[in-house]
Structure 1
Amino acid sequence: METSAIEELIRSSLPDAEVEVTGDGRHFEAAVVSAAFEGKILIQRHRMVLATVQAHIASDELHALSITSAKTPAEIA
């Protein structure tokens, strides 16, 4: 799976998100900034991101996605 495909999957559910994905074709890391994270605790933010790729993880097309950062725009300012 390509990093750009994962970025698009995340953006499809979090349209305002700034997404950066790196990886080696099976194991990936994502940094996501989205206003949708406002008022959410870290585990809720991670679940929101992982939900966007769950079908690809279930099919083993995507083996692993680590969320390295899940912040609101205010938290990065």
Structure 2
Amino acid sequence: MAMDAREIEGLIKAALPDARIVIRDLAGDGDHYAAEVVSESFRGKNRVQQHQMVYAALKGNMGGALHALALQTSAPE
């Protein structure tokens, strides 16, 4: 079962309430997305740690209901 972009955004927002999130469906199949996530919570963390925070927010859906998510993460400028 594929995930809806709104569901992905909701999960990320629940974990990172201040996040600005832009999600694009890359293949139109609900399985392949790109997400840009900007959050103050990322400040001082390296890229791997930032991505781990987003994957944790997805509550185990990565690799299951959500097949692929290309991430760009950063702290606000």
Question: Paired residue for 1:28?
Answer: 33
Contact 2:41 2:75 in 1 (8 A): yes
CA RMSD of aligned residues (A): 1.2
Contact 2:55 2:62 in 1 (8 A): no
More helix by share: 1
- Secondary structure of 1:55's counterpart equals coil
Contact 2:31 2:66 in 1 (8 A): yes
Q: Does 1:10 align with 2:6?
A: no
Deviations 1:16-74 (A, max 9, x none): 0001111130011110000000100111111111111142125x21111110x211111
Structure 1: tracts of 5 or more residues without a match: none
User: Of 61, 65, 71, which residue of structure 1 is paired with 2:69?
Assistant: 65
- Secondary structure of 1:57's counterpart equals coil
Distance 1:39 1:45 in 2: 9
Q: Structure 2 length as normaliser, TM-score?
A: 0.85
Q: Structure 1 length as normaliser, TM-score?
A: 0.85
Give the 4+ runs in structure 1 shifted more than 6 A. Answer: none
Contact 1:18 1:32 in 2 (8 A): yes
